[in-house]
Amino acid sequence: MATDRILLELKAVSKSFGLTPVLETIDLAVRDGEFITILGPSGSGKTTILRMIGGFTEPTQGSILLDGRDITAVPINNRPFNTVFQDYALFPHMNVADNVGYGLKVRGVARAELKTRVGQALELVQLGQLALRYPAQLSGGQRQRVALARAIICQPRLVLLDEPLAALDVELRRQMQSFLKDIQREIKTTFLFVTHDQEEAIAMADRICVMNSGRIQQLGSPHDVYYRPRTEFVARFFGDNNLVEGKLAAIEGRYRRIETALGSLLCATEGQPELTEAPAGRRAFAVFRPEAISLEAPRDGNANHMPGTVATVSFGGASTVAAVDLSSGSGVRQVRIKMPSQVGGARIGAGDRITLNWSADACRLVLA
């Protein structure tokens, strides 16, 4: 379980390759024992952060602290970290046991202790019976677990994981997500996980750090990032949010109105002082998730209502997604709604006239 104690801290860290900036003044504190995920598209700088923490790349400016001590110039082999790479980087000429025990062997650990700790690490990742196999004889998921066992056997303060699940198929990725989280809880070691997959980040992280263009866009719990995006980028990047552009209007307690081409919408501003301080007329977006919309009129007096026409209905197993056309002053635009599927079939069909309802608390504002 994560504590409030800061294990690792990046202070005003930036990185440029030649004249090209990759990271711009990053401040990030990693808590002891947490599972933190760095999430972002390709080129966002997430892998550069991992490589700087691991000692593979030096920052152009700024410092990296471990337990408050500056380790910016400390070489890789003197940092109490281990890395699991996307390609696993296993030695093909060594069997599983030798791969896992390699770090202990180069540290001069006695043979008897090495054998015991290798056995314990392999049992932890459920590969004890495969100790004598070679990497070429293993599945992708098994190779991933060997790489994890090798990373944790030396009891590092921090495990760095650079998109280690990217090469696995969908079902195996889900299994390994659960497995990695279970292992992290059991050994109580801090994990820093890099991915471009939003669902993966939500499923695994205690906190998510969303990156774009070398900057941190938002840092928070999966729930906050998913339901309370702080920037337009996060709102668009994280799932299938509906975004409606407009201009800020009146403040009504902990809510604020935004005037849009679809009409006036009421949105929550809790925890975002920049939304109450922004002047009227400032361009912004109302953001609301498809699953927040209901066809029933809510009891909440601070609700948004909007009539529309169902354009398409798509069955997706547990849920059904519909695209709904809404009339606006500049034509027609669509929003998406998501409802639990029913055994008897969809409740609505193409061409149906419906009224969309969603609470003001489920509607967030982000500044444009």
Q: What confidence tens digit (pLDDT) does each residue in 185-211 have?
A: 999 999 999 999 999 999 999 999 999
List every span in the chain annotated with CATH 2.40.50.140.
240-367
Q: What is the DSSP string of 128-194?
A: GGGTT--GGGS-HHHHHHHHHHHHHTT--SEEEEESTTTTS-HHHHHHHHHHHHHHHHHHT-EEEEE
Count Cβ atoms within 10 A of the Cβ of residue 122 and give its class: 0-12 exposed, 13-18 middle, 19 or more buried. buried
331 pLDDT tier (thresholds 50, 70, 90): low
Angle at 333 between CA 329 and CA 334, to 5 degrees: 150
300 pLDDT tier (thresholds 50, 70, 90): low
List every span in the chain annotated with CATH 3.40.50.300.
6-227
Strand ranges for 236-302 from DSSP E: 242-252, 255-260, 263-268, 283-288
The domain over range 240-367 is classified in CATH as 2.40.50.140: yes
The domain over range 6-227 is classified in CATH as 3.40.50.300: yes
Instruction: Name the pTM for this structure.
Output: 0.91
Per-residue pLDDT tens digits for 53-110: 999 999 999 999 999 999 999 999 899 999 998 887 889 999 999 999 998 998 889 9
15 pLDDT tier (thresholds 50, 70, 90): very high
Per-residue pLDDT tens digits for 239-273: 789 999 999 999 999 999 999 988 999 999 988 89
Mean pLDDT computed over 332-348: 82
Residue 346 has pLDDT above 70, yes or no: no
Q: What is the pLDDT at residue 37?
A: 97
Residue 308 has pLDDT above 80, yes or no: yes
**Residue count (the chain):** 368
Distances (CA, A) of 338 to 21, 307, 333, 343, 346: 40, 16, 17, 16, 11
Contact 222, 208 (CB under 8 A): yes
Q: What is the pLDDT at residue 344?
A: 64
